[in-house]
Amino acid sequence: MSYKYIMENAIEIKNVGKKYNITHQKGGYVSLRDVIMNILKSPFKHAKQKARKVIGKDAKEEFWALKGVSLTVKKGEVIGIIGANGAGKSTLLKVLSQITPPTEGEIILNGRIASLLEIGTGFHQELTGRENVFLNGAILGMTKKEITERFDDIVEFSGVKKFIDTPVKRYSSGMYVKLAFAVAAHMEPDILIVDEVLAVGDAEFRKKSLGKLDEVSKTEGRTILFVSHNMAMVEDLCNRSILLEHGKVKLIGETKKVIGEYLSKSNEKNRAIHNFRIDQHRDNQVTKISLLNDRNEPTSNFDSTKQFTVDIEYLVKQEVKGTMLSFLIYTADGNKLIHSDSFNYSGVIPESLEAGNHKTKITIPANLLNAGDYYIETIIRIPGFSSLDHRENIQFSISGENSLQGDVYGKNYEGILSIPLEHKTEEIK
Amino acid sequence: MKTTVIKPKKTFSLSDFKEVWQYRELAYFFAWKDLKVRYKQTFVGVAWAVFQPFIAMVVFSVFFGGFLEVPSDGIPYPIFVYSGLLFWQFFSSALSDTSASLVGNASLITKVYFPRLILPIAGVVIKFVDFLIGAVILAGLMVYYGFIPDPIIFAVLPLLLLITFAAAIGGGLFLSAINVKYRDVRYVLPYFIQMLLFVTPVIYPASIAGKWSFLLALNPMTGVIKASRAALFGSAPINWELLFISLISVFVLLIVGIIFFKKTERYFADVV
């Protein structure tokens, strides 16, 4: 290996942009009937529209999910990508992993690239763990020979050896994720893209996974792009980070500085109000999540002694039977703290989410959560059947300085909940 | 070290085919997965691959061969219809599978990169396995009815399979790309395939159309089925001209399919 080779850049992103066209069409996917009906109903209008489209004068709305993004990553570097929801992180990763092409610009990748955009992709419920290791490995770009060679290591790392010949539909979600991560971690790419995968699994396994990533980057000289809302993890793993905002690069530099910028007061609103792009192919979707304190100000930092609210706005284009909105809170360790559906409170199970634009206000009472970082997830789903819309990793933090416990213990009092429990004391005679 | 350049995609180039070749193992894995999964939790398992054409043969033989007395060029009707069905089912099931391959694998397409062409190709490979299983029955029937195939079958069979393969994949690619945008395809296609069965000489001989039989020749499967019968049963000499026309037409279909597919591929992940 020559010196020049070592100094090579692993990734060169040059002025990359990705444009989406937003068409304001009602309903789910386009059907041929609609198109034909449109032509029949107003042939001239349609012809005019088509003509405008051809000469490029169409007044369609454009949305740049990425614009003018440039970044150079050296071999062996671990780069954190941070930013609020909708800042373009996922789009950047999708472009990098060739799932969707950029609209402009150029990216040069030196070496084999692999993405853990969503681990377990391609796992088939009916197949056994062993079979899925091979299938998943192949999907991730490994050859059969490579998988066979690493099979024992993968199984060892996953810790599900006992169940390797059991169909994965019988696995717990933890086992599933462990096996999936193990496959991905052993594929030995030159460039690895990691997106939020570590938010799942138990604390011990997460530690192991982080260790593996660290080892992979340090000893084997692999380049890692790490996307997470968990700032502690980013700070742990990455020397350099990039902050994205509205599809543009806000800051590139030392991780501490970038995280500082992200968490700064001026960025407060970006972390409190999350707008999601409307996907015309979905019938049900959450469009906005806002975090508001007791004075209705947008913030993602709350006082443990004050109540705060989460506003979830959602759009139902077409009523789908059996849908409901689920709201979940996770701890920073990835443990599910609460799962709340609207009917839990009202006691009436609704038939479905009604068509139209709605806003659901969820109040988290004062003195419930202890100081720490938390994550919100919203799902529009048909319970036990399918999920129609999924938003996760909406981060907020609680500070406990004003609580009584804070007075006594400072920042170090323990526990996830800070509900005051009654301590009834009487003297024993 | 491999260097990848990601740029805004234009049209397709020859390197795309090289890439498909590089990923051939993945095609094998997709086919392997589908074969493994398909007959899980079924009672008779792989026997389904045999039952389907077999039962169709029995029903067709009773109604068309028996009651309606459909001519069969002097070949016993059951084996006549079975040989047609074998190729027909390979074609029709491959066509419908391929056309659903992109939409059906949306979760994969939006998360992992691999040449998308792999998916329809894997779909056709699976159907070919079914074809092979069905062919065993044909061999049994040939023995039963005492037919000795013309040795030319070994020369002509690969060509026939190639045509069927290209027809299914060419049409399938075209339809799967349309299906990404317009889901109407999945409603229209089963109907279309049913209609197509009647304009293909599967249950009747091509000679039935008399002077209009040249119209049937536009359908590439006509050439395939005719030639396979000619070679298997020696009922008539192989019509090489017809076969050549079929070959040209499926080649055009394949090219159109690939171009259309590659054009749509650019925005698959954004639309699916």
The pLDDT tens digits of the residues spanning B141-193 come to: 888 888 877 777 788 888 889 999 999 999 999 888 888 877 788 888 888 88
**pLDDT averaged over chain A?**
82
Rounded distance, CA B87 to CA B96, Å?
Answer: 14
Give the rounded percent of residues in chain A with a pLDDT score beyond 70.
87
Q: Tell if the CB–CB gap between B37 and A126 is shorter than 8 Å.
A: yes
- CB environment A295-328: b (16+ within 10 A), e (fewer): eeeebbbbbbbeebebbbbbbbbeebeebbbbbb
Q: Tell if the CB–CB gap between A99 and B109 is shorter than 8 Å.
A: yes
Using only C-alpha atoms, chain B has a radius of gyration, in whole angstroms, of 20
pLDDT at A411: 66
Which residue in chain B is spatially nearest to A144 when comparing CA positions?
A: B25
A94: contact with B, CB 8 A cutoff: yes
Q: Which residues pair with A18 in a beta bridge?
A: A66
The pLDDT tens digits of the residues spanning A332-352 come to: 777 889 999 888 777 778 788
A429: contact with B, CB 8 A cutoff: no
Asked if residue A201 has pLDDT above 70, the reply is no
**pLDDT averaged over chain B?**
82
Asked if residue A150 has pLDDT above 50, the reply is yes
| Local confidence band at A288 (pLDDT 50, 70, 90 cut-offs) | very high
Higher pLDDT residue, A74 or B65?
A74
B209: contact with A, CB 8 A cutoff: no
Asked if residue B269 has pLDDT above 80, the reply is no
Higher pLDDT residue, A264 or A266?
A264
Reference B197, options B176, B170, B221; nearest CA is B221
Which residue in chain A is spatially nearest to B25 when comparing CA positions?
A: A143
Taking the alpha carbons of A243, A246, A247, A248 in that order, is the dihedral positive or negative?
Answer: negative
| Local confidence band at B9 (pLDDT 50, 70, 90 cut-offs) | low
Give the one of A95, A111, A144 whose C-beta lies nearest to B6's C-beta. A95
pLDDT at A1: 41
The pLDDT tens digits of the residues spanning B180-232 come to: 877 788 888 888 888 888 888 888 887 776 666 666 767 888 888 888 888 88
| Local confidence band at A50 (pLDDT 50, 70, 90 cut-offs) | low
Q: Of chain A residues 173-192, which have a CB less than 8 A from chain B? A: 190
Asked if residue B62 has pLDDT above 60, the reply is yes
Asked if residue A117 has pLDDT above 80, the reply is no
Reference A233, options A117, A157, A332; nearest CA is A332
Min mean pLDDT across A116-120, A176-180, A240-244 is at: A116-120
Rounded distance, CA A179 to CA A171, Å?
Answer: 10
Whole-model pTM? 0.73
| Residues of A whose CB is below 8 A from B37 | 124, 126-127
Q: How far is A313 from chain B (nearest CA, A)?
A: 23
| Local confidence band at B39 (pLDDT 50, 70, 90 cut-offs) | confident
pLDDT at A200: 53
- Average pLDDT for residues A280-298, to the nearest whole number? 89
Query: What is B11-25 written as a DSSP string?
Result: S--HHHHHHHHHTHH
Asked if residue B106 has pLDDT above 70, the reply is yes
Phi, psi of B200 (to 5 degrees): -115, 135
Asked if residue A180 has pLDDT above 90, the reply is no
Asked if residue B38 has pLDDT above 50, the reply is yes
Reference A317, options A350, A285, A287; nearest CA is A285
The pLDDT tens digits of the residues spanning A358-404 come to: 999 999 999 899 888 898 999 998 887 778 888 888 889 888 877 77
Structure tokens at A391: 């938003």
- Per DSSP, the three-state class of A425 is coil
A135: contact with B, CB 8 A cutoff: yes
Query: What is B181-229 written as a DSSP string?
Result: H-TTHHHHHHHHHHHHHHTTTTSS-GGGGGGGHHHHTTSHHHHHHHHHH
